[in-house]
């Protein structure tokens, strides 16, 4: 997954792997979502609410903490490079 932003947009790149045991080895499909920052914030809020409601009814969704840390590091690295996706 790749995340980027610029002055006028937020961008989310998602690839779907055929073989989950070998990420990136056989990408079946790629999706690129580009939206204004306001829409990204609304999407983030909506997804957070949906997940919170699901977990309240079904318990926590298992997800490795190291993957969350990897995502956070990737976002911080991009921010420090200052490379916007649009110009």
pLDDT digits (tens, 9 = 90+) for 27-52: 776 788 899 999 999 999 999 999 99
Length of the chain: 87
Q: Please tell me the predicted confidence (pLDDT) of residue 19.
A: 66
pLDDT in tens, 54-71: 999 999 998 888 888 888
- Its pTM surpasses 0.75: no
Contact between residue 78 and residue 13 where contact means Cβ atoms under 8 Å apart: no
Whole-Å CA distances, 25 to 2, 30, 62, 68, 70: 16, 13, 24, 21, 19
Q: Which helix (H) or strand (E) holds 49?
A: helix 37-58
């Amino acid at each position: 997954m790749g995340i980027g932003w610029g002055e006028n947009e937020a961008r989310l790149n998602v690839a779907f792997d055929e073989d989950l045991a070998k990420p990136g080895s056989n990408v079946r499909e790629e999706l690129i979502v580009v939206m204004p920052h306001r829409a990204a914030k609304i999407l983030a809020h909506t997804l957070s609410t949906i997940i919170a409601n699901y977990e309240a009814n079904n318990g926590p969704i298992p997800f490795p903490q190291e993957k969350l840390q990897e995502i956070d590091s990737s976002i911080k690295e991009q921010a420090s490079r200052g490379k916007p996706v649009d110009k």
